[in-house]
Amino acid sequence: MLQRYRSFPYLSYFFLCHFSLAVVFPIFSVLVFREELSSLIYTRAITLGLLIALFPLAQMASGYLLLKTGAALRGARGELLICAVLIFLSFIGLFVAIKIKNLSLLFLFRGLSGAAAGGLFLSENIIITGREDHVKAGRLLTILTGLGLMAGVLAGGFSDLLSLQSSVPFIIGCLLALISITALYMSGTPKIQPTVFHEKKSLTGGTFRSSFFFFAMSWLATLQFFSLYVLELFSPFSSYTPLFLFMMSLVWLMGALSAKMLGGTFSKKTTLFFCLTSSFLMSLLIYFQQFFVPSMFFHLVFCLYSGLAWSLFSRASHISGSREALVQAFQNQKVALLAATAAPLIMILFTSMNINDVYLSNLIMLGISTILLILK
């Protein structure tokens, strides 16, 4: 219990980082394409891709620096506290930028929030290093990553996507940031391992991580564009978007938690193959679906298998110490951030921005992921 209490400040910051990444997914896609911040559809696609990709790019750039200085100067707690404060301020800045529809300010505060979330790796290091059961700590971070992303999209869905005037997502973000700031301020000096960020040793193999990468792109693209999908194709039902985002989050969690239960019944590769092929089928059905209720059902099934696959992809076997657990956690986090960067940039290729193109790209990504898994 004491270990959990000591980890709470860093778990809260870890969750906040993923929440702040995803909370603007529903808002940005609607803002750029419905408000026509750019006159040409091609320019709008580039604008949206860069806006969404800027956060993980800035996060990766600042992550190594914060981890290195936090270890060298023993200032990990102070750095994370400053990062949490900057995330709080970036929520306020993003809300103002969206209200006045200023593209320059959107890029500025999106980049600031991404850089401030660079302490993700530092918090990950502290959580795993400070726990005796490193395998459980890694599993906890895997689930928390997905939950943070789903919670962010869910909160963003509570914005009035027809007017973009709602402050609810940003109030939730500010409250989460305040919780993290308070917890970090009251926490003690943590222990960290400074030398494993660029560790090359792999517990899973490059082909397996590549399969994870393409799968993660398909799932993140679905999260990024779901609200726009409902608004464009099923606008009379757009008021139900928060409800379905909540249901998607719930079934994703059910899938993620079932990974441990299925682990002793089927091999990881067999279960992942089933999840990827099932997700491929769901994306295919969504692509051709013209009715709201069946489409939402297929989305829920897609999220169920995505949660299970995410948990299995992120889990490595034969972890015997905090160093191996940390190496694996960093590798998983890098793959997730690269996928979060690549997914919106891939959509630039679909310049017509028919919203169904998202699911066409999903089919391609899931097909590549399945082939790589077979070749593992």
How crowded is residue 183: how many other Cβ atoms within 10 Å of its Cβ? 19
pLDDT of residue 306: 92
Under the banding of pLDDT at 50, 70 and 90, the label for residue 1 is very low
Whole-number Å distance between alpha carbons of 253 and 143: 8
pTM of the shown model = 0.86
Most confident residue range from 39-43, 63-67, 219-223, 365-369: 365-369
Among candidate residues 36, 169, 75, 39, the one with its CA nearest the CA of residue 113 = 169
Under the banding of pLDDT at 50, 70 and 90, the label for residue 5 is low
pLDDT in tens, 269-284: 888 999 999 999 999 9
pLDDT of 326 higher than 50 = yes
pLDDT of 316 higher than 70 = no
pLDDT of residue 177: 93
Whole-number Å distance between alpha carbons of 155 and 341: 21
- CATH superfamily for 2-375 is MFS general substrate transporter like domains (1.20.1250.20)
How crowded is residue 243: how many other Cβ atoms within 10 Å of its Cβ? 13
pLDDT of 317 higher than 60 = no
Taking a C-beta distance cutoff of 8 angstroms, is the pair 224, 55 a contact?
no
Taking a C-beta distance cutoff of 8 angstroms, is the pair 81, 46 a contact?
no
pLDDT of 56 higher than 60 = yes
Taking a C-beta distance cutoff of 8 angstroms, is the pair 119, 83 a contact?
yes
Non-local (6+) Cβ contacts of 205 within 8 A are 376
pLDDT of 2 higher than 50 = no
| CA dihedral sign, ordered 161, 165, 169, 173 | positive
Radius of gyration of the chain (CA): 20
What integer best gives the mean pLDDT of the chain?
A: 81
Among candidate residues 263, 244, 264, the one with its CA nearest the CA of residue 252 = 244
pLDDT of residue 165: 64
pLDDT of residue 342: 86
Query: What is the tally of helices (H) and strands (E) in the chain?
Result: 14, 0
pLDDT of residue 65: 79
Q: Roughly what angle, to the nearest 10 degrees, separates helices 206-233 and 134-157?
A: 20
pLDDT in tens, 346-372: 776 664 567 788 888 889 999 999 999
Length of the chain, in residues: 376
CA angle 133/134/139 to nearest 5° reads 105
Residue 261 amino acid letter: M
Residue with tokens 């679909």: 350
pLDDT in tens, 87-124: 999 999 998 988 888 888 889 999 999 999 988 888 88
Residue 24 vs residue 190, higher pLDDT:
24
Taking a C-beta distance cutoff of 8 angstroms, is the pair 365, 156 a contact?
no
pLDDT of residue 91: 93
pLDDT of residue 283: 92
Taking a C-beta distance cutoff of 8 angstroms, is the pair 335, 309 a contact?
no
When pLDDT is averaged across residues 167-174 and rounded to a whole number, the result is 87
When pLDDT is averaged across residues 290-297 and rounded to a whole number, the result is 90
Under the banding of pLDDT at 50, 70 and 90, the label for residue 12 is very high
Whole-number Å distance between alpha carbons of 138 and 118: 19
Whole-number Å distance between alpha carbons of 269 and 200: 23
- Measure CA 225 to chain center: 13
Under the banding of pLDDT at 50, 70 and 90, the label for residue 344 is confident
